[in-house]
Homo-oligomer: A and B are copies of this chain.
């Protein structure tokens, strides 16, 4: 996350927003954010959203996710907003939407559906 220049900009029970600012090394040809960056910050947002509903000594582990890439991620900032769709004791199902902000306008560029596992009392393995 630090490597991506990403930071949590909103956090409440079952919801997280993460933002990553434009950096040349996160982009591919044509100055788009690489799809891998969308996937990484959406996955992280899902993990933190799940974690916000877990006991304090828990750790999170991404079991799996699916992402649909909807539009090129062009802009000065990439924003992932994740929420917990279902909060089971062991598994949390989360969804995340990724937007690229350019000149004040947000474009919806990816949507994710993820399964996150809660490991009670174990050291963090998935950050």
Query: Which positions in A face B, CB cutoff 8 Å?
Result: 3-4, 25-26, 28-30, 32, 34-36, 39-40, 43-44, 61-72, 85-86, 90-91, 93, 95, 108, 111, 113, 115, 117, 124-127
- State whether B67 touches A64 (Cβ < 8 A): yes
For A126, the chain B residues whose CB sits under 8 A away are 28, 35
- State whether B95 touches A111 (Cβ < 8 A): yes
Task: State how many copies of this chain the complex holds.
Answer: 4
Complex Cα spacing A89 to B111, Å:
18
The 10 listed contacts between A and B (C-beta, < 8 Å) are A28-B126, A29-B124, A32-B125, A36-B43, A65-B67, A66-B66, A68-B115, A70-B85, A85-B108, A93-B111
Complex Cα spacing A115 to B44, Å:
20
